[in-house]
C-alpha cells in the first residue's frame, strides 16, 4: 500500500515537472546490459590476452569507458538491487544471493514508467521469484513485460514470460533474450513510446557451455591451462565436479564471446530501426571474476571478496547522440549510480529516501573529473543475524524456474528477506570498505581481531601494500565516516524509509 501511494505521488510530480523534464520526443531510449560474473579484465579493451570481445571493444572506443567502475557488492543479487534502486542492498535486506528485494522499494523502472517509458526486463532477475504471485517479480517492480529467470541460465534456457509457467526456449541464451528485447523495442515503437530495457545475461556464470564455433576460437586454451584443475558445477548432474582449468576457460570465454556478439545484434537492430543515435546502452558486470576465471586479473581477490578483484567490473556507455568521441574516465563509479544518472538524463525526480549513488551525467561530456562522495561496500554479517521474521510470506518466495546447478536437493532457487526492527552492535560487522580518490580502507573481522588495511589508490592496483600504520589519522577519519554510513543503512533496514513520502 505504501509503495502504491508513493508511485502515485511520483507520477503526479512527473506530470507537473518543470524545466528539467524533457519532452517525449527528446527522451532517450535506455538499455542496461549486465554480464553475470563478468570481471573487469575479461574484455579485449582492458587488455585480456585471450578473449575476443569486438563489440564491447568498439563501444569502449567510441563511447564512455568507465575504467574505475564497481559493482555495489561482490555478488550478484545485491548488485542487481543497487541498479534498480540507487541504494546499497543492505538498506533493504538483499544481503546475498538468495535474499530478495523488498516490494516497497522504488525502482528505476517504476520511475521511468511514470515518465512514459515502456519498460521490459529480459534474462536473469535473482531479486525474488518471477512468477505472477511474487510481490517482487519484475512486473511489481515497474516493468511492463518480462521474459525472465529467477536465477541464471545456460543454453536452451527455461524462462517465464510475464510470470507464466516457465518454458524451455531452444537456442543460445544470449541470443534468445536479445531477440525478446528487439521484439519489445518494435512494440514500443508502434506505441510511440521511449523504451527502457534491463537485459541481464545468464553468461558467463558457471556451469559453462558454448556453441562449437565459439569454442573453436579458444582451442589453444586447454593446452595452456590444463595443468591446473578447478571445482565447479557439472552440467550433467548439477553437483560439484573437478575439471581441467583449460577446458573450463575455453567454455567460459566462448560464453563471453557469444554474449558480446548478441550486443552487436542488438546494436545492429537499433540502427535498422533508426533508434541507435538516441539510445543509451550501458554495459557492466555484476561482480568480479570467480575463481575459475581469475587467471589473468591484475587485481587482488575474486568474486565474493571486497578487494578490487571481487568488485571492479567492466563499465561502458554508448550514446551516439551525446557521446561522439571516446571518453576515458578514471572517476570512481558504481552500479548504485545508475538510477540517479538516468533520473538526471530524463528529468525525473529522485525518491527522497537515502540513496547511495550519485548522477554520473557529468561524465558524458567529461566535465565530472572527481567523485564528490565516497563509495561504501559492505558484506552484511548474516551469520550473526538472529532477526529472521519473514518480510514476505514464504510461499511467495518459492522459485519456479529450473536451472542446472542444484541448491540442496532442488533444481531452482527460493528466496527470503527478513524484518530487522532492532539495530545491534554485531550488525556493524562483516567486511566493509570505504573508497575515495586516494585511498581504500578495508575492514574485516571484528574486535578484538579486527583487521585494518589501507591502500593507496589507484597506485596500488593489486592492493599489496597496507599503509594503515603510516596514516593513522586517515584511517581514523575514514572509519568514522564508514560507521556513520552504516548507521544510515541500518536505519533503512528497519523499514523506516517506507514511512517517508516523495517530495516535490
> 165-224: per-residue pLDDT in tens?
999 999 999 999 999 999 999 999 999 999 999 999 999 999 999 999 999 999 999 999
Pairing of the two strands 167-168 and 118-124: unpaired
* pLDDT score, position 446: 83
Total residues found in the chain within this entry: 504
Q: Which helix (H) or strand (E) holds 355?
A: none
Q: What domains can you pick out in the chain, each with its CATH number?
A: 2-37+69-203+276-377 (3.40.720.10)
In whole angstroms, give the CA distance from residue 198 to residue 125: 10
> 434-460: per-residue pLDDT in tens?
999 999 999 998 888 899 999 999 999
Q: Let me know: does 230 contact 243? Beta carbons within 8 Å.
A: yes
> 487-501: per-residue pLDDT in tens?
999 999 999 999 864
Place 5 in a pLDDT band, splitting at 50, 70 and 90: very low
Residue found by looking up cell 546499497 in the block: 88
Which of 409, 406, 40 has its CA nearest to residue 207? 406
Helices (H), 273-336: 308-311
Burial of 499 (0-12, 13-18, 19+ CB in 10 A): exposed
Q: Let me know: does 225 contact 138? Beta carbons within 8 Å.
A: no
- Whether residue 465 has pLDDT greater than 60: yes
Which of 50, 473, 442, 471 has its CA nearest to residue 257? 50
> 11-30: per-residue pLDDT in tens?
444 443 333 345 556 899 99
What is the distance of C-alpha 322 from the center of its chain?
A: 24
As beta bridge partners, residue 65 has: 316, 328
C-alpha cell at 411: 533444481
Question: DSSP E strands: which ranges in 46-202?
Answer: 64-66, 69-70, 118-124, 145-149, 158-161, 167-168, 195-200
Q: Let me know: does 488 contact 478? Beta carbons within 8 Å.
A: no
* pLDDT score, position 504: 28
In whole angstroms, give the CA distance from residue 499 to residue 491: 12
Q: DSSP assignment, residue 496?
A: G
- Whether residue 33 has pLDDT greater than 60: yes
* pLDDT score, position 19: 33
C-alpha cell at 151: 536465477
First to last CA, the chain: 20
Order of strands, edge to edge, in the sheet holding 375-378? 375-378, 432-435, 439-444, 451-456
Residue found by looking up cell 562449437 in the block: 212
The CA-based dihedral angle spanning residues 96, 99, 105, 111, taken in that order and rounded to the nearest 10 degrees:
70
Q: What DSSP line would sit under 134-160, residue for residue? A: -TTSTGGGT-SEEEEESS---SS-EEE
22/419: higher pLDDT: 419
Pairing of the two strands 118-124 and 195-200: parallel
Q: CA 289 → CA 76, 151, 198, 359, 378, distances in Å?
A: 11, 18, 21, 26, 18
Residue found by looking up cell 525518491 in the block: 351
Task: Reduce the DSSP state of residue 172 to 3 states and report it.
Answer: coil
Amino acid at each position: 500500500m505504501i509503495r502504491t501511494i508513493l508511485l502515485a505521488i511520483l507520477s503526479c510530480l512527473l506530470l507537473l515537472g518543470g524545466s528539467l523534464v524533457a519532452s517525449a520526443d527528446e527522451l532517450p531510449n535506455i538499455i542496461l546490459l549486465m554480464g553475470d560474473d563478468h570481471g573487469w579484465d575479461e574484455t579485449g579493451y582492458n587488455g585480456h590476452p585471450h578473449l575476443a570481445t569486438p563489440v564491447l571493444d568498439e563501444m569502449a572506443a567510441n563511447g564512455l569507458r568507465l575504467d574505475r567502475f564497481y559493482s555495489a557488492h561482490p555478488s550478484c543479487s545485491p548488485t542487481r538491487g543497487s541498479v534498480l534502486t540507487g541504494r546499497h542492498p543492505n538498506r533493504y535486506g538483499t544481503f546475498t544471493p538468495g535474499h530478495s528485494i523488498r516490494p516497497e522499494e522504488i525502482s528505476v523502472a517504476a520511475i521511468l514508467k511514470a515518465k512514459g517509458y515502456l519498460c521490459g526486463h529480459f534474462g536473469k532477475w535473482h531479486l525474488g521469484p518471477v512468477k505472477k504471485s511474487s510481490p517482487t517479480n519484475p512486473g511489481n517492480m515497474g516493468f511492463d513485460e518480462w521474459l525472465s529467470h529467477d536465477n541464471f541460465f545456460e543454453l536452451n534456457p527455461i524462462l517465464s514470460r510475464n510470470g507464466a509457467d516457465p518454458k524451455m526456449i531452444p537456442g543460445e541464451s544470449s541470443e534468445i533474450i536479445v531477440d525478446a528485447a528487439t521484439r519489445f523495442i518494435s512494440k514500443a515503437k508502434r506505441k510511440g513510446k521511449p523504451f527502457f530495457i534491463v537485459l541481464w545475461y545468464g553468461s558467463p556464470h558457471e556451469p559453462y557451455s558454448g556453441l562449437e564455433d565459439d569454442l573453436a576460437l579458444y582451442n589453444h586454451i586447454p593446452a595452456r591451462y590444463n595443468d591446473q584443475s578447478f571445482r565447479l558445477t557439472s552440467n550433467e548432474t548439477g553437483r560439484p565436479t573437478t575439471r581441467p582449468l583449460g577446458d573450463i576457460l575455453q567454455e567460459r570465454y566462448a560464453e563471453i564471446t557469444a554474449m558480446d556478439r548478441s550486443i552487436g545484434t542488438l546494436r545492429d537492430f537499433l540502427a535498422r530501426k533508426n533508434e541507435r543515435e538516441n539510445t543509451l546502452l550501458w554495459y557492466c558486470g555484476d561482480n568480479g571474476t570467480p575463481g575459475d576465471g581469475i587467471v589473468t586479473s591484475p587485481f587482488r581477490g575474486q568474486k565474493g571478496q571486497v578487494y578490487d578483484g571481487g568488485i571492479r567490473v567492466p563499465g561502458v556507455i554508448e550514446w551516439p547522440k551525446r557521446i561522439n568521441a571516446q571518453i576515458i574516465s578514471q572517476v570512481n563509479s558504481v552500479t548504485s549510480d545508475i538510477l540517479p544518472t538516468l533520473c538526471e538524463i530524463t528529468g525525473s525526480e529522485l525518491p527522497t529516501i537515502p540513496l547511495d549513488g550519485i548522477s554520473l551525467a557529468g561524465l558524458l561530456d567529461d566535465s565530472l573529473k572527481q567523485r564528490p562522495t565516497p563509495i561504501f561496500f559492505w558484506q552484511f554479517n548474516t551469520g550473526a543475524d538472529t532477526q529472521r521474521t519473514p518480510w514476505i510470506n514464504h510461499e511467495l518466495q518459492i522459485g519456479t524456474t529450473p536451472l542446472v546447478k542444484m541448491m540442496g536437493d532442488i533444481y531452482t532457487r527460493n528466496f527470503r528477506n527478513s524484518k530487522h526492527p532492532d539495530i545491534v552492535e554485531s550488525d556493524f560487522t562483516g567486511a566493509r570498505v570505504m573508497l575515495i580518490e586516494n585511498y581504500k580502507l578495508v575492514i574485516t573481522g571484528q574486535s578484538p581481531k579486527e583487521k585494518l588495511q589501507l591502500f593507496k589508490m589507484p597506485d596500488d592496483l593489486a592492493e599489496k601494500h597496507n599503509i594503515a600504520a603510516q596514516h593513522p589519522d586517515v584511517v581514523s577519519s575514514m572509519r568514522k565516516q564508514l560507521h556513520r554510513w552504516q548507521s544510515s543503512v541500518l536505519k533503512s533496514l528497519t523499514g523506516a524509509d517506507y514511512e517517508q513520502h516523495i517530495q516535490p
